[in-house]
Copies of this chain bind each other. A is one copy, B any other.
Amino acid sequence: MSAAGDLAPAALRAAIRRGDWTGPTAGAVRGYLQCNLAILPEGFARGFESWCQANPGVCPLVAVGKPGDPRLPSLGGDIDLRTDLPGYSVFRGGRPGGHVLAIGDLWRDDFVAFAFGCSFSFEGVLLGEGVDLRYLARGEREAIYRSSLETTPVDGFSGPLIVSMRPLRPVDAIRAIEVTARYPLVHGAPVHIGKPEAIRVDPDRPMETLGGISVADDELPLFWACGVTPQLAIRRAAPDICITHRSAHMLVTDIPVDTLRDRTPEDGLTPGSGGS
């Protein structure tokens, strides 16, 4: 799967664990599933899992850890969630509590970890299918926006849908919809195309971008559900503590993205994987 020069996922995780890699993971490893992470006390875990299941396009669960267990063996035999992400965001009582590089000192016996697919995973698939991601050639990266769309609320978890935007020419937009629709575990098809004003988004004013973004006259903006969404939903539920991946600093797994084709959150990842 890996192109010349790319790190293997386990090698990247080892570099992160040693503290040698602290940057974003987008593009660092091609062809492997990258995951959003959310770690919650057990008292909030069931509600959060129900909210994920009610919003499968937003939070396509690929693995759920056992209470107190920092491993997710179905995603990589050596994964230790306390050290293997290059950045974590900590929330206390629903408020941002800063970023950290490891969470060994924060780990608790009642923590439950949730991993769900990230759209970073599918850029490689799109390129492999011949979709022209011109924004990459322009030195730009997808940007994220707060939309006027709302997630389905469950047990105190609720909030707006955060979307990532990629500008594409019409023929590439159609192909990108076709391709991503077949990968529901990494958000699936876009939630919106064109007409950004219909979801109250101004493409020129992202919440966050990794490298600037623009929509050319011959391009349409495409919007996918973004894994930042659950961070806002968790903040509303306001557990005493919650830890997530830091934006763009993902859990890199051993799962080749192409094995996810046509698999849904209901299918799960592998027989017996995850499961709280």
Residues in chain B near residue A194, CB distance under 8 A: 170, 173, 193-194, 220
CB closest residue in chain B, given A218: B198
154-195 of chain A: CB within 8 A of chain B: 170-171, 173-175, 177-178, 181, 189-195
Contact between chains at A171 and B191 (CB < 8 Å): yes
Bound form: Cα–Cα A194–B196 in Å: 13
Residues in chain B near residue A175, CB distance under 8 A: 189
Complex copy number for this chain:
2
Residues in chain B near residue A193, CB distance under 8 A: 170, 173-174, 193-194, 220
Residues in chain B near residue A178, CB distance under 8 A: 177-178, 181, 189
Q: Which of B171, B195, B220 touches A218 (beta carbons < 8 Å)? A: B195
CB closest residue in chain B, given A176: B177
CB closest residue in chain B, given A188: B178
Question: Would you give the shortest CB distance from A55 to chain B, in whole angstroms?
Answer: 15
CB closest residue in chain B, given A217: B195
185-226 of chain A: CB within 8 A of chain B: 189-195, 198, 218, 220
A-B contact pairs, 10 of them (CB 8 A): A170-B192, A170-B193, A170-B198, A171-B191, A173-B193, A173-B194, A174-B177, A177-B181, A193-B193, A194-B194
CB closest residue in chain B, given A223: B170
Taking A174-B192, A193-B220 as known contacts, 12 extra A-B pairs with beta carbons closer than 8 A to each other, sorted by chain A number, are A170-B192, A170-B193, A171-B192, A173-B193, A173-B194, A174-B177, A174-B191, A174-B193, A177-B178, A178-B178, A193-B194, A195-B218
Bound form: Cα–Cα A174–B192 in Å: 7
130-174 of chain A: CB within 8 A of chain B: 170-171, 173-174
Bound form: Cα–Cα A220–B195 in Å: 8
Q: Which of B174, B190, B191 touches A190 (beta carbons < 8 Å)? A: B174
Contact between chains at B174 and A195 (CB < 8 Å): no
Q: Closest 10 interchain pairs by CB?
A: A178-B181, A177-B177, A170-B193, A170-B192, A194-B220, A194-B194, A174-B189, A170-B195, A178-B189, A174-B177
Bound form: Cα–Cα A175–B170 in Å: 15
Residues in chain B near residue A192, CB distance under 8 A: 170-171, 174
Question: Would you give the shortest CB distance from A97 to chain B, in whole angstroms?
Answer: 36
Bound form: Cα–Cα A4–B218 in Å: 45
Question: Would you give the shortest CB distance from A181 to chain B, in whole angstroms?
Answer: 4
Question: Would you give the shortest CB distance from A73 to chain B, in whole angstroms?
Answer: 33
Residues in chain B near residue A220, CB distance under 8 A: 193-195
CB closest residue in chain B, given A219: B195
Question: Would you give the shortest CB distance from A156 to chain B, in whole angstroms?
Answer: 27
